[in-house]
Structure 1
Amino acid sequence: MFGVPRNRFLIKTFSCVNYIHFSTMGRDYYEILEINRNATDADIKKAYRRLALKLHPTSNREPGNYERFRQLGEAFHVLSDLGKKATYDKFGEDGLKCGIPTEFAKGGAWSLKYAYHNNPEKTFKEFFGSDNPFSDFYISDLPLQFGGLTLGEEKIKDDPIERDLHLSLDDLFHGCTKKIKISRKVMNDNGCTSSIRDKILTATVKPGWKEGTRITFPKEGDQGPNNIAADIVFIVRQKPHAVFKRLDNDLIYHAVVSLEMALTGFSVEVETLDGRLINIPFNEIVHPSYKKVVPGEGMPLPHNPSQKGDLIFTFNVHFPEKLSAESKLLIKQALHY
């Protein structure tokens, strides 16, 4: 019937049937993958991913490790295939590799014997899609960037993500709180896929902070299974002010005055950043390089906000475009020593 003596066929049938149904010998593929027998397909894949990266010869050169890596590949090769897994669950490793009788199959033919190809690197490559599991690939249509690490490397922290935070001079004088909405990639609970989620960051601005001050939110960048999330850094940028110009902790007030005022005196009324009106008299002659310093009316000191810098007045003297002869004579007489 099968090209062999009938007695030989009966002996093979008898020995294999008894061996398959009653033998408990053979390796435990579930134990090799460190999972239980109720594990789902996702559990099997997750376990293989973790152990394959751990045991791959590139990252683990311990004696005997390659055999563990080979057994891992074989265990996954069987349990990730529904047909092989069903045979293994019912008949064990020996039944899987010996072949089992199909009880109701035509002619009582034997199933094919299973033999692993003994190339765990091939299994590894088929699973990850590459010899390098950290290259870009897609899971559930969602691109997931692994950062290009090679096996055996430790996680590397991504470079800081820097963004400008534009603040008014009033914000920097009084201090303020800014809410900043960010969108970032966050790992899902399965440790393999990610999703985009929004988060609100709260930046507390202290009185007196200067241009260039850095506000750091540690590890708030994109998450990935093989990287340490980057810090997000906001850098203070000061918006122009309509009245004052800032110089370190001092405020500069620039005024335009007539020649008459520069020579005869005047006063300037200024509203400070904290809402007070101050009136500053100028009785000196205002010359081109003239400055007047009003102490304690500048910006709060960053490390001691109760102390302030100075308010400095500078001027542009507006000269008349022309003078009559009579006016010139009067000016000469007035300036004559």
Structure 2
Amino acid sequence: MDQILVAGVNTVVGANLAEALSDHCPVVGVSFTSGVSLPTCNVETEIPRKASAVLELVRRIQPSRIVLCGIGADSCWDESRRPQAADVTYAKSWIDAAQSVGSHLTLISSDAVFTGPWMFHAENSHSICPSPEAELLRQIEAHASASSADALIVRTHAIGWQAGPNAGWLETLLADLERGTIGSVDFARHGTPMLATELADVLKKSWESGLVGLHHIAGAERISPREFATRLAAHFRLARPATPIAGSLVDRTVGFGCGETSLQTRKIRRALGIPLPLLDESLEKLYQQHLNGYREQLRGSQLASRVA
């Protein structure tokens, strides 16, 4: 049976993926920030900061597969999460460690490598976002591709509950909606969000099918953050928020994650013979996770951690 190491359980994708996979195989989680406790997944208490510490940890665990959930594993609509040069260096440490021990690598990357004006970007789209942050994401992807011929590189736009006691982007948006406000979400940018636990299901099928290379895995609907907030309120049985007049755009929006990042998913759908979820399907599952205790379980309790 495979043993999977999910690196980055502090991210939305990392935490939800670790929980989803732990029902099927042994999973070890590693957090990149503070220690995060997950309900069913064993999380390492040590945070390896240096490349030597990363390699030592990977050699000790000897996972058959490493899923790297770094800076690309949170929604680019989260303004608090922006790639930095240090993220590239750290990601390379994990990619090199996976290569060193012969672990299959899955890299979670972001739709924020793209921008408009085109919609539904294919894997080879030339509508590349020129921002420095997007360039850092592409550097991570390029290193993963060059280091391992069998790496699976997944661009996505995942939403879901944040692990640990601190509120994430989604929790903050819901708190605004409960107060009857829309927050600071805008109407200009557009993406194709999908639920992180649904992404986990597609990843499992991808591994079973032996997929490698670059694939887009995202939701079937293109939507703006403002419309997303309105649809989220409806599924959580909240009053429709009063939205300010949007106005009109004179110039195309620019900046990291500020434009058109919607993903075309034809490649993965054909490879696996599956549909990808509509937004209402994802939001209803998110609401059920809120009701059945899954959200609260992910909050857990913060653990003391050592830095290596």
Fold match (TM-score > 0.5)? no
If asked which structure has higher relative contact order (CA below 8 Å, sep 6+), I would say: 2
TM-score bin (small chain):
under 0.3
Structure with higher strand content: 1
Give the structure-2-normalised TM-score: 0.22
Larger Cα-atom Rg: 1
Give the structure-1-normalised TM-score: 0.20
